[in-house]
Structure 1
């Protein structure tokens, strides 16, 4: 599957998807991540044929940094 976004094409056909270590059999928030051709793809691990979100490396770094800093905590 090829996706065109943000001015470039990303081929997800042979992507190696990694499931979050926080995902589990009793969890509704399961995601998988793939690092492909200069981009990062994220999808719902329960719907692998569904859409993927595509991030640039800078966007991904900002997200991961925010998560580590607690920027998205609900507390």
Structure 2
């Protein structure tokens, strides 16, 4: 996924089964939602928490904020 802005972006790792998430920046937060349930719940991260979350997914190890 490229740089985030206020537009919902679909993950570049979207599977062929429709198993994907969308992300955007909303104010000073990063928001994530299920692309199949756009009116459903949204996960909200601070920028530091988002960076740690992505690093954890990429490497399996959490980084310090």
RMSD over aligned CA atoms reads 1.5
- Return the TM-score normalized by structure 2: 0.74
- Return the TM-score normalized by structure 1: 0.65
Gap runs ≥5 in structure 2: 1-5
Q: In structure 2, how many angstroms separate the alpha carbons of the residues matched to 1:51 and 1:64?
A: 19
Could you tell me how far 1:69 is from its partner in structure 2?
1.1
Higher strand share: 1
Could you tell me how far 1:31 is from its partner in structure 2?
0.4
Which residue of the other structure, out of 15, 29, 48, is the alignment partner of 1:39?
A: 29
Aligned pairs, how many?
56
Gap runs ≥5 in structure 1: 1-14
Q: In structure 2, how many angstroms separate the alpha carbons of the residues matched to 1:25 and 1:51?
A: 23
Higher helix share: 2
Please tell me whether residue 57 in structure 1 is matched to residue 47 in structure 2. Answer: yes
| Higher Cα Rg, which structure | 1
